[in-house]
Amino acid sequence: MATNFTFLDEHAKPQTISLEPNDFTFIQKNRVLTDDKMKSKPTTYFKDALRRFAKNKSSIVGAVILGLLLVLSFIIPGVSTYDVSSYHSQETTLAPKLFESGTGWWDGTRLRKNITVAFDWDRFAKDGTYSGLPADVQERDIVGGTEGITYSQVGDYYTDSANAYAHGGYLRLWTSAGLQYEAENYPAMNLPSYSYNFLNDNDYTVTVVTEDAPEKELRKAGNTGGFEGSDGEYAITFDYLSGDGASHSLMLKDFSSTHGTDVFSLRENASLLAAATANGGFFTEGINQAHLSFKIKPGSEIRSLLIRSVSVASKKETEDCSAISFTDANASALSDQCKIANHASRSLFHADIVKCTFRFDDYSYAYGERKADDSRAISLSTSQMQTYFNDGYFNFSDADFQQFLTDFNAISSTTEKRKFANEFASQVTLSSLGEEKSPLRIREGEPMVITIVSAGGRTAMSFGGTISMYRYLGYDSMPRFVFGSDQKGQDMLTKTFIGLRTSLLIGIVVSIICMAFGLVWGAISGYFGGWIDIGMERFCEILSGMPWICIMTIALIKFGQSWGTFIIAECATGWIGTAALTRTQFYRFKDREYILAARTLGASDFRLIFRHILPNAIGTLITSMVLMIPSTIFSESTLAYLNLLGGLDSLGVILSDNQNAIQSNPNLIVFPSVIMALIMVSFNLFGNGLRDAFNPSLKGED
């Protein structure tokens, strides 16, 4: 049966067509239609979270750094050859060393600047050569030896303190400002007494050099009182005892004289000397106990006198007047050659001193060889030597050494003992094993030295010579501390990673405890709600209102300083944040449709909490737990820095112990701080990655 179908064409004209049943064919009559097979594999919640975490590059970096530090915190203390439980004073505050000495970076050396030099002043005066080693430093401990020393120029540095390394300068006689003197009570500086002999016509000549100095120079040197810019008002006198014992004073230079070089002939003043002598017989009796004296006039404006040199010469060449002469003010001050009288003060002013810059090798200083004449030489005891003989370090056996001790003790004379000991020492040489391990280095021209000391009726021996310090301290080769050593001589690399391990363990333990308790507390509060929730929340508010530092202090007072006390105090309030977060998550999920469906089907509260609600909230809670670890480490470090914690080493305790060395040895603070910073940053990157992976809806939130 045909069917007519009318429609309007593109020109809006009606068109009619006739449709027959045969015009239609069922083309899929014999085909079976089915759904296509899924091309993706089924996954789980945690697999999907892991896939999302792997896409976060910064979190991957944080996880790698965190894992590496965690592994190293257990491996490095285990394989380290340095025992941090025992240490030696020779190994304190060594510089970090990774490369060989002389490379200039991380090589166990320090750049030391402006170090005073034991300068060779005689050689400098002779040919202008700069030479000398830094004070108390040996050439072997300087990178490059003497070639590695850079000297300052003579005249660049001065000192006002007499010392063995200075040269020249002035002796400064000064009086306090405003100090009043009675008439004729002159503040004076006296040279040593000397028996001047006028009977043999020695004709003594005195040469004195005095100088003025600008006020600004004295102030630069740290002196408060100085010249007022005027000459004169000081005098030079010749004080002596006459034949009848009377005291006399002859003024060679009066108070109105100027500064400069003055030469006095005592022979020219003979008439004055004779007139001043009570019996007029000084030519026949000579003059005894005479001395030169420098005096400042009472009430004068000038309060300082600078004396460059004093030289007394005799016409008779065989007479030595050096005891009352000086050209080196520093040497005179060191020997206390000039005496002070009448409440005046004497000090050194502007003595030349040379300083230098060089690289100091900490490891050569601590572990190098020390000879018997070294200022830091050490001696080996009889028991130590017996151990070395027993270990086969010498060509003499332990039995030979025991026989030596027996024969030595049988000798009564100390002289004979010394002779016998020296004969024994000359015969001892190192074995092949001793060449490798013995701390006592016996070489040609450097034999073993045996010292005998008798005290209290007992005779003791000590053995010395050239000692290899690193062998003496028990090392097979020269040590190197990658992070340096601390103020106790402990290896900072080993100690830092032990501290890291301790800090991580404390953080993990605290996080697990707080997580477990807070999760249970928050789950009960959030799931049941009502009065149960109100009561539990009020308790949390009261507990959180107590300052944490107060809780910690009370715990420390009650239980003492220990890591157990810290964990208890940290966990006392640390779970509150986790409980609040868990409560929020339960309020968020407990009224969802799938929870209502499960409850309708008869699921118990326990099953609803742990099977249906908790898995959906676990992502946020895991993130909270991970971030709690660095927070705990930071809290522990804060308390340790405040000296409220003691006991085991941790990063906080290490930083607390070394805080006073931040200027002199910054590596003791820098390396532990870098490790702590890496831990903090890595945990935060890792935690943020976990948060984004387990709960993508929170991505980008703080």
DSSP conformational letter for 42:
P
Both tokens of 472, joined, read 């003496």
Domain-wise residue ranges, the chain = 95-159, 170-349, 370-472, 510-662
pLDDT (0 to 100) of residue 223:
45
Strand, coil or helix: what is 504?
A: helix
| Cα radius of gyration rounded to whole Å, the chain | 46
CATH 1.10.357.20 correct for 510-662: no
In the sheet with 466-468, reading across from the earlier edge strand, the strands are 369-370, 466-468, 440-441
**Residue 105 identity (one-letter amino acid):** W
Instruction: Report the C-alpha gap between 252 and 20 in whole angstroms.
Output: 157
pLDDT (0 to 100) of residue 270:
61
pTM: 0.75
Give the bridge partners for 460, in sequence order: 453
Instruction: Report the C-alpha gap between 247 and 327 in whole angstroms.
Output: 28
Instruction: Report the C-alpha gap between 601 and 452 in whole angstroms.
Output: 98
Quick one: fold of 170-349?
Answer: Jelly Rolls (2.60.120)
pLDDT (0 to 100) of residue 231:
46
**C-beta separation of 310 from 207 below 8 A:** yes
Both tokens of 155, joined, read 């005249």
pLDDT (0 to 100) of residue 188:
74
pLDDT (0 to 100) of residue 222:
45
**C-beta separation of 514 from 571 below 8 A:** yes
Instruction: Report the C-alpha gap between 490 and 467 in whole angstroms.
Output: 22
pLDDT digits (tens, 9 = 90+) for 508-553: 999 999 988 998 898 888 888 889 888 998 998 888 888 877 888 7
Asked whether this chain's domains 170-349 and 510-662 adopt the same fold, the reply is: no
Going from the C-alpha of 406 to that of each of 84, 304, 450, the distances in angstroms are 40, 70, 16
**What does the chain come to in residues?**
702
| 170 CB neighbour count, 10 Å cutoff | 24
pLDDT digits (tens, 9 = 90+) for 590-634: 888 888 888 888 888 888 888 888 877 777 787 788 888 888 888
pLDDT (0 to 100) of residue 250:
76
The answer to whether the Cα torsion of 164, 166, 170, 175 is positive or negative is: negative
The answer to whether the Cα torsion of 594, 597, 601, 603 is positive or negative is: positive
The residues, ordered by sequence, that sit 6+ positions from 307 with a Cβ below 8 Å of its Cβ are 170, 171, 172, 173, 189, 208, 209, 210, 294, 329
Strand, coil or helix: what is 92?
A: coil
Residue ranges for the chain with pLDDT beneath 70: 1-2, 38-39, 175-187, 199, 212-233, 241-246, 256-257, 270-289, 298-303, 341-346, 455-457, 646-648, 695-702
Phi, psi of 27 (to 5 degrees): -80, -20
